[in-house]
Homo-oligomer: A and B are copies of this chain.
Amino acid sequence: MQVEIWSDVVCPWCYIGKRRFEKALADFEHADEVTVRWRSFELDPNAAFLPGRSMAEQLAAKYGRTVEQAGEMLRSMDRMAAAEGLDYDLASTTGGNTFDAHRLLHLAEDHGLGPDMKEALLHTYFVERVAVSDPDVLRRVAAKVGLPAAEVEEVLAGDRYADAVRADEREAHELGCTGVPFAVVDRKFAVPGAQEPDTFLAVLRRAWDQAHPVLETVEGGGPSCDGDSCSI
């Protein structure tokens, strides 16, 4: 079974949704048959690469609020994250462009390290609160996960995996994904948003049942021969 999850590494609901999905997977009887593939989705492809402003400052500017008011809005999301064991402080988190992070996620995927890289990037951004648009931060995360330094440099210096990121985003669009997280199970079921573990679990079980059909015998049965004779 294949679960593909479109998400961005700076998307607060994506990390929360990841924890909920992981809870569902832990309760799933056939978890060892599930492959999880992280697919790219940039919330803001035009974001600056090195933003200086915190999320509270950006939100205040966008909605004409004070930084304190914006911070209060963000704290309600911090509490949702805390319920999943994630130590968010969104008000002091700084955003940024995630294109390079996604290209490195594809490199990690090719090395069988996609899930490790995804977790490391989310942790770096939301818990360590370090900008994952910074190439030095990306180098450090990639090294920690175990990606070959030379390949990381090659990706950061050129446009390797740019097409792969764009292809993921095109496919998201084709599948009707307009926001993230967005999980697709066996290309049969779409789970939009950070749903509760029980919802994910029910979908995993339905997909498993469909992938393991009971042979349906067509009614009627035509004439045949068995060991003794042929029907005439």
Residues of A within 8 A of B (CB): 8, 11-14, 17, 43-44, 73, 76-77, 175-176, 178-182, 184, 187-196, 199, 203, 213, 215-218, 220-227, 230-232
Contact = CB atoms under 8 A, between A and B. Distances in A.
Given A215-B184, A231-B13, A223 B203 contact: no
Nearest to A191: B218
Contact of A13 (B175, B190, B224): B224
B224 A179 contact: yes
Classify the interface of chain A: helix, strand, loop or mixed: loop
A215 B188 CA distance: 5
Nearest to A76: B232
The 6 A-B residue pairs with the shortest CB-CB distance, nearest first, are A193-B222, A195-B222, A179-B226, A179-B224, A193-B224, A190-B217
Contact of A43 (B11, B73, B188, B227): B227
25 contacts: A8-B225, A11-B224, A11-B225, A11-B230, A13-B223, A13-B224, A13-B225, A13-B230, A14-B225, A43-B227, A44-B227, A77-B230, A175-B215, A176-B215, A178-B226, A184-B215, A188-B213, A188-B216, A190-B215, A190-B217, A192-B218, A193-B222, A193-B223, A194-B223, A195-B220
A192 B13 contact: no
Contacts of A8: 225
A195 B221 CA distance: 7
